[in-house]
């Protein structure tokens, strides 16, 4: 499978020592943008407030070169940050199905994923497991994230529709 372009809109709101986006960028795994206006115009913004699950239906636009875009901001400022993004991009919001965080800040919490976990989960769900593993490889919690979520991620990646992912999510969580 061809590599999926991954971008991060980084709003500099969190502790830099715990920032997975900066580490991914320094290793050439993602492109980073300090402003929403410099982010790609076509693709999917991972948005925890979206009502549309990331799913197999999204592969057609990804196949045309669309990007996965992650918003790196503080959970405390998520609503304001998403509003800022909505004003300056046309990215379609997508929410990830339920998964467990393995990062040290939110370990075991459903949905409280780091940027690296979110990127890897997106890539796995869209069927690009090789790229997902590459993204997680530099992080101590990377293999643990994949192990904690192995069954749901495998099921989500084999699903044929968002509706099936929604049903699977209910079974797992």
Tokens 């918003």 belong to 71
User: How far is it, in rounded angstroms, from Cα 163 to Cα 80?
Assistant: 29
Per-residue pLDDT tens for 69-79? 998 876 676 77
- Model confidence at 11: pLDDT above 80: no
Considering only CA atoms, give the Rg of the chain. Answer: 15
- The rounded Cα 29 to chain-centroid distance in angstroms is 13
Decide: helix, strand or coil at residue 7. strand
Query: What confidence score (pLDDT) does residue 118 get?
Result: 96
Q: Which of 10-19, 56-65, 76-85, 145-154 has the lowest mean pLDDT?
A: 10-19
Q: How high is the mean pLDDT of the chain?
A: 90
Kindly provide the residue ranges of all beta strands, DSSP E only, lying in the chain, ordered along the sequence. 6-10, 31-33, 43-46, 67-72, 92-94
What share of the chain in percent tops pLDDT 90?
A: 68
Per-residue pLDDT at 6: 97
pLDDT by residue (tens digit) across 88-144? 788 899 999 999 999 998 999 998 999 999 999 999 999 999 999 999 999 999 999
Vertex 116, ends 146 and 161: CA angle to 5°? 65
């Amino acid at each position: 499978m061809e590599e999926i372009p991954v971008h991060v809109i980084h709003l500099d709101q969190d502790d830099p020592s715990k920032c997975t986006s900066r580490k991914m960028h320094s290793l050439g795994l993602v492109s980073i943008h300090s402003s929403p206006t410099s982010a790609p115009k076509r693709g999917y913004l991972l948005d925890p407030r979206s009502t549309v699950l990331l799913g197999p239906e999204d592969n057609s636009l990804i196949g045309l070169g669309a990007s996965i875009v992650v918003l790196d901001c503080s959970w405390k400022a998520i609503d304001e940050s998403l509003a800022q993004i909505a004003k300056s991009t046309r990215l379609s919001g997508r929410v990830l199905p339920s998964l467990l965080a393995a990062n040290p800040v939110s370990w075991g919490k459903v949905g409280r994923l780091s940027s690296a976990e979110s990127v890897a989960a997106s890539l796995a769900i869209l069927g690009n497991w090789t790229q997902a593993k590459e993204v997680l490889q530099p992080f101590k919690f990377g293999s643990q994230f994949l192990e904690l979520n192995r069954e749901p991620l495998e099921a989500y990646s084999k699903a044929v529709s968002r509706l099936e992912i929604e049903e699977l999510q209910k079974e797992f969580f």
